[in-house]
Structure 1
Amino acid sequence: MKPISLFEHKLSVSIEELQLQFRGFPPLLWADFWLNPRRLRGSDFLMRWSQGLWSETRFIEAINQSELYFAIMYGPSSVAPSHDVREYELYFERLEEAGLNQLKRPDLLAFRKTDQKHIEKIVEDLGGLAELPFIPEDEMDDLLQPALAAIECENSLWKAQQMPAYGEELRPMRRLGGKPGLPKSAVLPTVIIKEEDRERLWRWQDETNIPIHIWHAFYDVGFGLSLNKAQQLIDEGLIEPTIQTFQAPGGAVSKKAIYKFYYHYAYRVGESEEDPELTAAHIIDKNGHILPYVKFEGGRFRLHPEALQVLDELAQDR
């Protein structure tokens, strides 16, 4: 089976984003599939692209507004062009042509604010943020050594505090051998990690000795979890993998595992102080086809004291 491209991997839409939209309708075969963005080429794909860029930008702004810390974009999807979806796709094709289709780096790097000018000079000397994915990490020791943490960003099209099972306490579950959990059908905020990403992020963390945290943005709040704690929850049998189906570009179907960590196990990353505007936008493809979508613009996100405490502890350890 042909490997999935970096572009498609980043913009795949899981059933997590769709299940309530289909509520009240008969079961649909396609509801079991992750949507392939190159086949979809419609509002879901474009909105996913816009939402991902918006959430990463809000996280960076929130960190940079703190007194002690700042962050930069680092992973391929973060530093890719953000003004045009076609330029975004071409950037990923350039990565693949350079033999970097298996590249997996966290989306953001967090530093002490006292290092900001030094880090910005290093990035400038390396050719700018957009060139970082093309530089081997063993040639970026000056950039990585001061990093306090790496952040992998996820996002969901939900208002977390309005999800049906938000606020429910975990209770003994038979499928977990009496360990705490919620029914599989419960709809609540979770921090999601794809199994294929988890393995590659583990390798990156081991090779760089930089702790990775996963920050999951919802429309109103964000939750975070360290990769180490995620692994601990898996090892203790508190979180099971969810198997979902993905259709590759050529039509081949494969099963993939994701882990959904209840927000009860996470720390609060932040809260929305100002909602983004959802504005109408569109692109016109080379055949003249107009594709409308909803674009995320603006908004303001403030770091929660729990997230600041996590950054403080990371700073003490490094």
Structure 2
Amino acid sequence: MHPFENILSVSEAEIELELKFIAEIGWSEFWLNPRRLRGSDFLMRWSQGVWSEQRLTDAINQTNQFYAIPYGPSGTAPTDDVRAFELYFERLEAAGLGTVKRPDLLIFKIEHKPYVDSFLENIGGSKELPFIIESELQPLIQKALIAVECENSLWIAEKMPDYNKQMKPQKRLGGKIGLAKNAVLPTVIIKEEDRIPLNKWQIENNVPIHIWHVFFDKAYGLSLNQAENLVKEGLIEPTIQTFQAPGGATTQKAIYKFYYHYAYLLGISTEKPTLVPDYIEDKNGHILPYVKFTGGSLHIDQDALQILSQM
């Protein structure tokens, strides 16, 4: 799958809005670019990802103890123009780096900020990071405390039906503790297709990777190593979900949902984001509306700061 379509793929489970009793939607064949966006879900997914990564970056940088920069391709992509967003991934593919999996953020101690800023200035800014091979980025990477893979969900964690429910022995897990298969609660998600490349990156660069999952009201973190152990011990099973790309193609992918019980509290929302209407317009004047996130702030929890301090 082309990296542009892969980054915007939406799981059926993530589509919260259904237009029922409508046989046909007039803009379902809307030509935004050479690939068709079949609904607002893809644009919302794009906006949601940009918002959550920026929220985490701002939260870390406000601690005055640590410094975060975007490292993966999605974090440095254009944020206000879908066509520019697509062209960005076209350039990434042309550079031979379209299928390279990199964590979304790099986290540094605050004392390394002058070095990091100088390094980025010398290469033309953080937006150029995805187009540089990692062998040339080692001086920067080796300064990092951890790398972060970002995920997000359109849920208020504390209002999810099985929030605060205790784990119990489960028959399907051979008596090991867990929750019902259909339990709805905050989880930290890792895609099966990302597990091998993320583990490979972690080993090759000797920098630990953590998964940070942002909800509407709070965020949780989990180290990749701990996630791997939970899978190996049979405490977390894969879930098969169907993903749809902007071009309409569907694929089934396995994802792992790690209960928040296994994660550390990363942060709590101190200011709610605002959902605002927006739209894009093609050269022929066609309009595709969507909702995007703006504002909001996250306060990094003391336990998370302690974990980073001990790295």
Q: Quick one: distance in 1 between partners of 2:161 and 2:249? A: 35
Among 165, 183, 186, the residue aligned to 1:168: 165
Contact 2:37/2:247, CA 8 A, preserved across alignment: no
Note the C-alpha offset of 1:280.
Answer: 1.0
Note the C-alpha offset of 1:249.
Answer: 7.0
Match of 1:141 in 2: 138
Q: Quick one: distance in 1 between partners of 2:115 and 2:251? A: 45
Q: Quick one: distance in 1 between partners of 2:299 and 2:243? A: 35
Q: Quick one: distance in 2 between partners of 1:256 and 1:277? A: 31
Match of 1:32 in 2: none
Q: Quick one: distance in 1 between partners of 2:171 and 2:36? A: 40
Residue 8, structure 1, aligned to residue 5, structure 2: yes
Q: Quick one: distance in 1 between partners of 2:209 and 2:272? A: 28
Match of 1:219 in 2: 216
Give the residue type in structure 1 aligned to 2:207: I
CA gap 1:107/1:224 in 2 versus in 1, 3 angstroms: same
Note the C-alpha offset of 1:181.
Answer: 1.1
Among 62, 74, 79, the residue aligned to 1:77: 74
Question: Identity of counterpart residues, as a percentage?
Answer: 60
Equivalent position SS for 1:110: strand
Q: Quick one: distance in 2 between partners of 1:281 and 1:249? A: 18
Match of 2:113 in 1: 116
Match of 2:29 in 1: none
Q: Quick one: distance in 2 between partners of 1:101 and 1:264? A: 35
Residue 290, structure 1, aligned to residue 295, structure 2: no
CA gap 1:143/1:181 in 2 versus in 1, 3 angstroms: same
Equivalent position SS for 1:133: helix
Note the C-alpha offset of 1:133.
Answer: 1.0
CA gap 1:230/1:11 in 2 versus in 1, 3 angstroms: same
Residue 185, structure 1, aligned to residue 182, structure 2: yes
Residue-by-residue CA offset, 1:258-281 (whole Å, 9 max, x unaligned): 111011100001011000111111
Match of 1:198 in 2: 195
Equivalent position SS for 1:296: strand
Give the residue type in structure 2 aligned to 1:101: G
Equivalent position SS for 2:75: helix
CA gap 1:147/1:262 in 2 versus in 1, 3 angstroms: same
Q: Quick one: distance in 1 between partners of 2:78 and 2:245? A: 24
Q: Quick one: distance in 2 between partners of 1:182 and 1:128? A: 45
Match of 1:239 in 2: 236
Match of 2:88 in 1: 91
Among 148, 152, 174, the residue aligned to 1:151: 148
Coordinate RMSD, CA, aligned: 1.9
Among 52, 56, 65, the residue aligned to 2:53: 56
Residue-by-residue CA offset, 1:119-164 (whole Å, 9 max, x unaligned): 1000111121111111111111221111000000000111111111
Equivalent position SS for 2:190: strand
Equivalent position SS for 1:294: strand
Mean Cα displacement is larger for which, 130-139 or 281-290? 281-290
Give the residue type in structure 1 aligned to 2:259: Y
Note the C-alpha offset of 1:286.
Answer: 3.0
Equivalent position SS for 1:169: coil
Match of 1:30 in 2: none
TM-score by length of structure 2 reads: 0.91
CA gap 1:237/1:12 in 2 versus in 1, 3 angstroms: same
Residue-by-residue CA offset, 1:46-66 (whole Å, 9 max, x unaligned): 111111111000101110011
Match of 1:228 in 2: 225
Note the C-alpha offset of 1:85.
Answer: 1.8
